[in-house]
Amino acid sequence: MPKVHLLDYVAGNVRSLVNAIEKCGYEVEWVRSPEQVANAESLILPGVGHFGHCLSQLAAAGYVPALRAHIESGKPFMGICVGLQAIWSSSAEDPECAGLGVIPGTLDHFDNTTKSVPHIGWNNASCPANPTLYGMRPDSKYYYVHSYKYPYKKGELESLGWSVATATYGGETFVGAVAKGNVLATQFHPEKSGVAGLRVLRAFLDGSGAKELAANPPQTTINGAGTDELVASKGLTRRVIACLDVRANDQGDLVVTKGDQYDVREKSEGNAVRNLGKPVEMAKQYYEQGADEVTFLNITSFRDCPIADLPMLEILRRTSETVFVPLTIGGGIRDTVDVDGTKISALEIATMYFKSGADKVSIGSDAVIAAEEYYSSGKTLFGNTAIEQISKAYGNQAVVVSVDPKRVYVPRPDVTRHATVKTQFPGPKGEEYCWYACTIKGGRETRDMDVVELTQAVEAMGAGEILLNSIDKDGTNSGFNLELIAQVKEAVRIPVIASSGAGNPGHFQEVFEKTTTDAALGAGMFHRGEYTVQQVKDFLGDKGLVVRQFDG
Ligand code: 1PR
């Protein structure tokens, strides 16, 4: 197998990148010292998390001159995500820290007053001047996750000889990818962008992208065309996520299950755990149907098993070999004691998941406990919570908080200290208001904390996304809890994934049109085979909502 060198300099999920490279028919050779950079022919600089963190790690290990020399030598170089940002001279994320300076300029933050930040999801990488740049296609979509970007200014980079592919998010057009000579850099993650992303990776690995670029050099001046013609149309797609609740059944086999209001046992058949299929196979099926992400929730955390043997690790390893969209894993991410008495931190558990192919971890019960401590200490952050530690090490885009709220009816807002909603669905005694109480342990224990308090606390701690379930709606097929979603969207700036209640494609349309949710998740309707993910996407597309189709 031909080889590509991958720089191993910072914590992060590189397993999916390795899997994607192998899928393209190449073998990874790790670069673990600046001296090894000189031996590399083709080099990839991956990057996750913070610009400053990555660049300071690179500088401290002495990589900066070696990387500059590699780029100047004309050998193939690819930067991904923060690896793209690293080739600029600086970033507002950490103004003190210098980038590689291949491109002059400073990255800045997305405006979060009008939209969720980070920008998470599938968007364009469109280069009208070269519509086949490194296999990128104007109608394909690519997976982005970032808060900082380089704003696109027509002609600026082109005048320096760069070909530029752009995307637009909430009115801001930014650089999605740049290429010049031997250098390709993508803000999106090709390894998480399905078949479209693998095409870009392959064009880098086999040299065809650089060859085609040499034969079709960019225009150095852009005349005539207005900005609108140069930027990608349509932008961010509506994200549809398939969720698999996984647990061991009474025979000890790992199965995908699904509850009704969190009760996963059959009402008949001896109260057995509902078995809807095998996790790895079902994840692959949803990927091929066009799921934009796959989430696994390990709903019982497999409490009696040594952590290193957690069956979910193997499920992730196998899934990440065939599923090239983001994978989230939740359940049991908290400081814990292993079966032999060894203490294991939430960060160590998350690290095992990331190394096994997860892109994000989802924290449930532990987030509620941490939020309680946050308020009882007068909103002080000590840096010791799982959310803070994992987001510091892997970036906040890697930390999802899964919220399991239950509705509590009240006659009037002034009878509770909690943030209430005037509901269209009055309670049993005609109560016209309700608040949403957070629960822990899979809904078994209700705490004196509402969803607004929880989501604002975890946002302050560095969570990057909220997975918003609704116990009242779970498994009911009656549609999403629109009032709850609207309340949480109002409370935070980070993206929110609506979950619980999806029973047909119309429910996805409803949640996207009636709330500002950033993504919507379905489980039971997919597992029971009532609808496929593709049917949901086709339906949304017919209704004029922008979706990504599986790019086979
Ligand atoms: O508390 O950090 O160990 O995490 C446990 C995780 O497991 C949490 O994310 C929690 O939501 C989840 N969980 C625990 N028990 C259950 C259960 O069902 N008994 N599942 C459970 C939560 C809800 C969603 C479901 C949607 C959509 N499942 O994941 O997929 O409600 O369902 P639908 O479309 O069929 O209505 P920790």
Q: Write the CATH number for 193.
A: 3.40.50.880
CB 324 within 8 A of CB 16: yes
440 CA to centre of ligand 1 in angstroms = 11
Using alpha carbons only, what angle is made at residue 142 by residues 186 and 109, rounded to the nearest 5 degrees? 60
548 CA to centre of ligand 1 in angstroms = 26
262 and 206 within one domain? no
Pocket test for ligand 1, best of 256, 297, 390 (most atoms within 8 A of CB): 297
User: Choosing from 93, 94, 158, 245, which is the catalytic residue?
Assistant: 245
Q: If you average pLDDT over every residue of the chain, what do you get?
A: 93
259 and 219 within one domain? no
Angle between helices 451-461 and 482-491 (to 10 degrees): 40
Beta partners for residue 263, in sequence order:
260
The answer on whether 357 is annotated among ligand-binding residues is: no
In eight-state DSSP terms, residue 253 is: -
Closest-CA residue to 217 (of 178, 181, 165): 181
Relative to the CA of 475, which ligand 1 atom is closest? 36
Domain stop point among 230, 248, 271: 230
Pocket test for ligand 1, best of 399, 469, 526 (most atoms within 8 A of CB): 469
CA dist 101 and 106 (Å) reads: 10
199 and 324 within one domain? no
CA dist 164 and 84 (Å) reads: 12
Q: Atom 12 of ligand 1 has which residue's CA nearest to it? A: 299
Whole-prediction pTM value?
0.95
- 418: annotated active-site residue: no
User: What residue numbers bound the domain in which 463 lies?
Assistant: 239-542
User: Is 548 domain-assigned?
Assistant: no
Relative to the CA of 367, which ligand 1 atom is closest? 2
Domain stop point among 230, 249, 267: 230
Domain stop point among 169, 197, 230: 230
User: Is 521 domain-assigned?
Assistant: yes
Residue identified by tokens 């150095």 is 220
Tens-level pLDDT at each residue, the chain (552 residues):
899 999 987 656 788 999 999 999 999 999 999 999 999 999 999 987 789 888 999 999 999 999 999 999 999 999 999 999 999 999 999 999 999 999 999 999 999 999 999 999 999 999 999 999 999 999 999 999 999 999 999 999 999 999 999 999 999 999 999 999 999 999 999 999 999 999 999 999 999 999 999 998 776 555 444 344 444 458 999 999 999 999 988 888 889 999 999 999 988 768 889 999 999 999 999 999 999 999 999 988 656 777 877 889 999 999 999 999 999 999 999 999 998 999 999 999 999 999 999 999 999 999 999 999 999 999 999 999 999 999 988 889 999 999 999 999 999 999 999 999 999 999 999 999 999 999 999 999 999 999 999 999 999 999 999 999 999 999 999 999 999 999 999 999 999 999 999 999 999 999 999 999 999 999 999 999 999 999 999 999 999 999 998 886
Q: 198-214, pLDDT tens digit by residue? A: 999 999 999 999 999 99
What is the count of structural domains for the chain? 2
The answer on whether 81 is annotated among ligand-binding residues is: yes
Beta partners for residue 163, in sequence order:
179
Is the Cα dihedral 143, 529, 499, 539 positive or negative? positive
Q: Atom 10 of ligand 1 has which residue's CA nearest to it? A: 442
Angle between helices 533-542 and 279-289 (to 10 degrees): 20
- 97: annotated active-site residue: no
In eight-state DSSP terms, residue 365 is: H
182 and 255 within one domain? no
- Rounded to 5 degrees, φ, ψ at 271 are 60, 30
226 and 264 within one domain? no
Which value, in Å, is the radius of gyration of the alpha carbons in the chain?
23
262 CA to centre of ligand 1 in angstroms = 7
Residue identified by tokens 């509620």 is 368
Counting beta carbons within 10 angstroms of the beta carbon of residue 167, is it exposed (0 to 12), middle (13 to 18) or buried (19 or more)?
buried
CB atoms under 10 Å from CB of 399, counted, come to 29
365 and 513 within one domain? yes
User: Is 550 domain-assigned?
Assistant: no
CB 169 within 8 A of CB 235: yes
254 and 203 within one domain? no
Pocket test for ligand 1, best of 474, 481, 504, 525 (most atoms within 8 A of CB): 474
237 CA to centre of ligand 1 in angstroms = 25
268 and 211 within one domain? no
442 and 317 within one domain? yes
Relative to the CA of 263, which ligand 1 atom is closest? 19
- 465: annotated active-site residue: no
CB 28 within 8 A of CB 368: no
290 CA to centre of ligand 1 in angstroms = 22
- 314: annotated active-site residue: no
Q: Which residues line ligand 1 (CB under 6 A)?
A: 243, 245, 258-259, 262, 264, 297, 299, 301, 330-333, 362-366, 402, 404, 442, 469, 474-475, 499-502, 522-524
Relative to the CA of 364, which ligand 1 atom is closest? 2
301 CA to centre of ligand 1 in angstroms = 12
User: Is 36 domain-assigned?
Assistant: yes
User: Is 547 domain-assigned?
Assistant: no
297 CA to centre of ligand 1 in angstroms = 6
User: Is 522 domain-assigned?
Assistant: yes
Q: Write the CATH number for 424.
A: 3.20.20.70
98 and 44 within one domain? yes
CA dist 300 and 298 (Å) reads: 6
Pocket test for ligand 1, best of 264, 296, 404 (most atoms within 8 A of CB): 404
215 and 353 within one domain? no
320 and 194 within one domain? no
Closest-CA residue to 227 (of 141, 160, 163, 168): 168
The answer on whether 332 is annotated among ligand-binding residues is: yes
User: Choosing from 404, 465, 472, 483, which is the catalytic residue?
Assistant: 404
User: Choosing from 94, 191, 483, 518, which is the catalytic residue?
Assistant: 191
